[in-house]
Amino acid sequence: MSELQDAVFRALADPTRRGLFERLCRQGDTTVVGLLADAGVSQPVVSKHLKILKAAGLVHDRHEGRYTYYGARREALATLVDWTTEMSGFWQDRFDDLDDLLKRMDQ
């Protein structure tokens, strides 16, 4: 019952938060206003969710003047990967092709 693990699972349980994280994964660093567009909730709510995601280590923020850029910390997904791996040996198979692709790109 790792503290971090719990924070990650809990953070990703909310659809709004998952949506924010997904957008940060797709489009890279974005300001709060940038995220606000398709979030479907008010600005303070977006900020609150980002705070929770940050506490779980899923995003990082960087201040530039009056802007705050948020970005996804994909490494944090390792928590999910580790847990899923532990629950089943199912993970590796699914990623074999991805692994191959990476090796090819490495050359």
Among residues 8, 21, 23, 50, the one that binds DNA under rule CB under 7 A: 50
Identify the helix (H) or strand (E) that includes residue 22: helix 15-27
Instruction: By CB under 8 A, tell whether 38 contacts a second copy.
Output: no
Q: Determine contact, residues 39/88, Cβ cutoff 8 Å.
A: no
Among residues 4, 19, 63, 66, the one that binds a second copy under rule CB under 8 A: 19
Partner from a second copy, DNA, none binding residue 80, C-beta < 5-8 Å depending on class: a second copy
Instruction: By CB under 7 A, tell whether 68 contacts DNA.
Output: yes
Which residues touch 32 (CB under 8 Å, ≥6 apart)? 43, 46, 47, 50, 68, 70
Among residues 65, 75, 94, 104, the one that binds DNA under rule CB under 7 A: 65
Let me know the angle formed at the C-alpha of 63 by 58 and 64, rounded to the nearest 5 degrees: 140
Name the pairing type of β-strands 30-31 and 59-64.
unpaired
Rule CB under 7 A: which of 17-46 touch DNA?
31-34, 36, 41-45
Residues in the site for DNA, rule: CB under 7 A? Answer: 10, 13-14, 16, 31-34, 36, 41-45, 47-52, 61, 64-69
